[in-house]
A and B are shown apart, each in its own frame.
Chain A
Amino acid sequence: MGNIVVAIKQVFDTEAVIAISGGKISDQGVKLVVNPFDEFAIEEALKIKEAGGADEVTIVSVGGEKAPEAIRTALAMGADKGIHVDISSLGVIDEFVAAEYLAKAIATVPYDLVLAGRIAIDDGSSQVAVRAAEVLGIPSVSSILKLDIAGSTATVSREIDGGTETIEIPIPALFTAQKGLNEPRLPSMMGIMKAKKKDLTVLTPADLGVDATAKSNVLEYSLPPARAAGKKLTGEAADTAAELAKLLREEAKVI
Chain B
Amino acid sequence: MDFGLTEEQQMVQDMAKRFAEDEIAPYIEEDEENHHYRREILTKMGELGLLGWSIPEEYGGNGMGWMEAVTALYEIAKVHTSWRLSISGNCWGPAFTINEYGTEEQKQKYIPGLVSGEFVGSFAITEANVGSDVGAMKTTAEDKGDHWLLNGSKMWISGGHTCDVGLVYAVTREGGGVKGLSCFVIDYRDIEGCERIPIHSKVGMWPAPTSELVFENCKIPKDALLGEEGKGFQICMWMLNNTRMGCATGSAALAAACGEGAAQYCNERIQFGQPIGKFQAIQHQIATLKLEEDAAKYLVYRAAWLKENKLPSQQATSIAKVYGCKAAVEGANLAMKIYGAYGYSTEYPCGRWLRDAKQFETLEGTSNIHMGIIGGIELGYQPNR
Contact = CB atoms under 8 A, between A and B. Distances in A.
Interface stretch (B32-40, B45-53, B93-101, B173-181): B45-53
Nearest to B22: A186
B293 interface: no
Interface in A205-229: none
Size class of A's contact patch? 10 to 19
B7 A69 contact: yes
Contacts of B287: none
Interface stretch (A131-139, A164-172, A187-195): A187-195
A73 B48 contact: no
B18 A186 contact: yes
A225 B15 CA distance: 35
Given A189-B48, A193-B64, A72 B15 contact: no
Contact of A193 (B10, B18, B50, B62): B62
Interface in B7-25: 7-8, 10-12, 14-15, 18-19, 22
Contacts of B11: 72-73, 76, 187, 192, 195
Contacts of B18: 186
A186 B63 CA distance: 17
Nearest to B69: A189
Contacts of A191: 49
Interface residues of B, number: 20
Nearest to B48: A188
B131 to A, nearest CB: 34
Given A69-B7, A72-B7, A189 B68 contact: yes
Interface string B179-221: 0000000000000000000000000000000000000000000
Contact of A192 (B15, B47, B52): B15
A186 B8 contact: no
A186 B48 CA distance: 8
A196 interface: yes
Interface in B63-118: 63-64, 68, 72
A195 B68 CA distance: 16
A72 B6 CA distance: 13
A105 B19 CA distance: 33
Contact of B52 (A33, A186, A189, A196): A189
A50 to B, nearest CB: 14
B8 A193 contact: yes
B49 A189 contact: yes
Contact of B15 (A69, A186, A193, A196): A186
A225 B75 CA distance: 35
A193 B7 CA distance: 11
Contacts of A195: 11
Interface string A66-77: 000100110010
Nearest to B68: A189
Nearest to A31: B14
Contacts of B63: 189-190, 193
A76 to B, nearest CB: 6
Contacts of A190: 49, 52, 62-63
Contact of B19 (A69, A73, A186, A192): A186
A34 to B, nearest CB: 10
Contacts of A33: 14
A210 B19 CA distance: 41
B354 to A, nearest CB: 27
Interface string B351-376: 00000000000000000000000000
Given A188-B48, A189-B52, A190-B62, 19 more contacts: A33-B14, A72-B11, A73-B11, A73-B14, A186-B22, A188-B15, A188-B49, A189-B50, A189-B62, A189-B64, A189-B72, A190-B49, A190-B52, A190-B63, A191-B49, A192-B11, A192-B12, A193-B62, A196-B8
Interface of B: 7-8, 10-12, 14-15, 18-19, 22, 47-50, 52, 62-64, 68, 72
8 cross-chain pairs, A with B, having the tightest CB-CB distances, nearest first: A189-B49, A189-B62, A193-B63, A188-B48, A188-B49, A190-B49, A192-B11, A186-B15
